[in-house]
Amino acid sequence: MLTDKLKIKQQELGLNDTDFARKLSVPRSTWRNAKVGIRKPSRRLALKAMGMFPDLTADCVSFLLSDDTTITNDKTHVA
Residue-wise pLDDT for 1-56, tens only, equals 899 999 999 999 999 999 999 999 999 999 999 999 999 898 899 999 999 999 99
pLDDT(71) > 60: no
Does the predicted TM-score (pTM) go above 0.85?
no
Q: Is 22 helix (H, G, I), strand (E, B) or coil?
A: helix
Q: Going from the N-terminus, what domains does the chain have, and what CATH number goes with each?
A: 2-78 (1.10.260.40)
Contact 49, 38 (CB under 8 A): no
